[in-house]
Amino acid sequence: MTLASAEATRIQLCGPTVIDRNGRRLDGRLPGRQGRMLFAYLVLNRHRPVGRDELVEALWPRHSPSSAQVGLNALVSKLRKVVGPDVIEGRSNLTLQLEDDAVVDVEVAVRAVHRAETHVVLENWKGAWGPSLVALFIAEREFLPGEDAPWVIEERAEVWQVRLRALDAYAAAALGVHFRGNAGLRDAHLHNTDETRRVVVEWIRHYRPRTVILPFPVGRHPDHRIASELARDACYLAGLARYDANGRPHRPFKILYALAYREDPVKPSFVVDVSATFKAKMKAIHCFRSQFDGAKQAGEIFPTGQHLYERVETQAAHYGSLIRTRYGEPFFTQETVEVEDVVELRVQSM
């Protein structure tokens, strides 16, 4: 990683706009809202010349006034006075010239998340934490807040994707997971159809898992219930040689159902001691704080007055107590669990 010099130009476009050039803050001198827009557009496109017509469209996307070119000339002139005449080059086509070590937050975020993902692929979990957090801290701030031009909305969506990738990388690093993927099936609109089964079958054939963990097949959230049925069907179909889907046939050996946070009177088939990894689990859960912060209910979790983070720990402590450990994770299986030697059974009875 290359470190910028202390006097490098630093530009922040996510959250409040910041321009720090040679140790001096220039953002307070920008010529109003459109000056900020013009500067941001030139920064995003600084590796190519930008025509004046394109800039007019960027600044007045819905209705450009007849005097738009005159207004653009005035904005460019004022912006040159702020950042320096040598920074904005050209007349009919403009190019923003920054030093090689200039720091632009959106560019930093993209490079950082790429490094984090590379470390995840290499299973260098410690190496993934730092860059994933750098990308996350930047991408969590809104790009050009308060603006709604089409190019701003598009860039904002790209920054949001960087945020999701950073969360995935950080969670993978926290859990030591080699890969985390999303099948792209729409939230709250999940159906068990031939089309969705084929999608899941192809994932199963590609990754060829031995064990698949599913939501419990009963629940109030339709997605959880349907996902359980859909994935179980796909596990069977994936093993059929004549089923029309990409990949070589493969059928998982074992299907387990997660029981945590449920209120059904279902006794777990077994509980796994997760005491040694519980901190890592909570660290990963905090990566998805948009779903947890301030929440007191979700999915199969009914409100008790506790925040979800506290509820996770309470549930884990309860199931841990069933096997005489600090924390436990409960599972259910339709099949009877085999025991090789009753003398080696754990969990004291008396």
Contacts of residue 32, Cβ cutoff 8 Å, sequence gap at least 6 = none
Name the pTM for this structure: 0.71
**C-alpha separations of 343 from 323, 335, 348 in Å:** 16, 22, 12
Q: Residue 299 carries which DSSP code?
A: T
Pull the structure tokens for residue 251. 């059928």
Q: What is the pLDDT along the chain (350 residues), one digit of tens a residue?
A: 444 445 689 999 999 999 999 889 999 999 999 999 999 999 999 999 999 999 999 999 877 777 888 999 999 999 999 998 889 999 899 999 999 899 999 999 999 999 999 999 899 999 999 999 999 999 999 999 999 999 999 999 999 999 989 988 988 888 888 777 889 898 889 999 999 999 999 999 999 999 999 999 988 889 999 999 999 999 999 999 999 999 999 999 999 999 987 766 689 999 999 999 999 888 888 777 766 666 666 655 666 777 888 888 988 999 999 999 999 999 999 999 999 999 999 999 98
Q: 325 with 333: CB under 8 angstroms?
A: no
Q: List, in sequence order, every residue forming a beta bridge with 11; answer none if it has no partner.
A: 19, 104
- Please tell me the predicted confidence (pLDDT) of residue 3: 40
Assigned fold of 194-344? Rossmann fold (3.40.50)
Residue type, 223: D
Pull the structure tokens for residue 233. 């069907």
Pull the structure tokens for residue 116. 């984090």
- Please tell me the predicted confidence (pLDDT) of residue 300: 59
Pull the structure tokens for residue 151. 């190019």
Q: Residue 326 carries which DSSP code?
A: S
Q: What is the strand order of the sheet 93-96 is part of? A: 50-51, 93-96, 88-89
Place of tokens 């730092």: 130
- Please tell me the predicted confidence (pLDDT) of residue 138: 97
Fold match, 10-101 / 194-344: no
Q: 287 with 280: CB under 8 angstroms?
A: no
Residue type, 204: I
Give the burial class of 186: count Cβ atoms within 10 A of its Cβ; 0-12 exposed, 13-18 middle, 19 or more buried. exposed
- Please tell me the predicted confidence (pLDDT) of residue 5: 47
CATH 1.10.10.10 at 10-101, yes or no: yes
In the chain, where the domains are located: 10-101, 105-175, 194-344
- Please tell me the predicted confidence (pLDDT) of residue 180: 75
- Please tell me the predicted confidence (pLDDT) of residue 242: 96
Cα dihedral 170, 173, 175, 181 in deg (nearest 10): 70
Q: List, in sequence order, every residue forming a beta bridge with 215; answer none if it has no partner.
A: 258
Count of CB atoms situated within 10 Å of the CB of 306 = 15
